[in-house]
Structure 1
């Protein structure tokens, strides 16, 4: 299952449509929210998020809620877009959920193709 930072669903939708993700065995996709994750029987849950402290709080809240539910063992992963943040990793440690994560990775998303000759530069702090 993929759990998306709401601000990343649009840019990722330009790269990989839902049908393509389904073809690659992505069973479920959920938005990252305070209400937690809907019940599911997936083994791997991958959070895809920007490196923001408020998002780390949400991820930690979701992880703690999942652990309280019990059930079969799940593996949790985080992919930071566009880069990892030591401050975010520290926040996850402080919230007591860092050890429950099997993988912490990063995905550099800086250019998104709209067409064969048109790209979108996704750099928040550029040209401001």
Structure 2
């Protein structure tokens, strides 16, 4: 297998950052409930989350357009970006009954994307997402045999 395209490497850097930002957002939500300055921390981490979300979407689009990654990395990145905007609006409107579950969904989507991009790190998938056998040394697909 050849060296991954630079855009795929960028995606592999940005996706874990996005998951960490999502996790930090949950931590600051706890601070919001327990500390007087928690609201400011939660709002600041939301801005960081939005910036990292834009970087994630841009990296996924660049990786796909350059041929370095499959198009299937783009929809989760786009979903996370749209969800970030929606959850931010719901949070500003104090609609916690939707804000919190959508935030949990965002974290799950981030972890889903991380496992997909991270699976490619182990060399078990090509940049195109096709699984190959390591033991045979051939380029024929390994269908779980």
TM-score tier after normalising by the smaller chain length = under 0.3
Question: Rg bigger for which structure?
Answer: 2
**TM-score normalised to structure 1 length:** 0.26
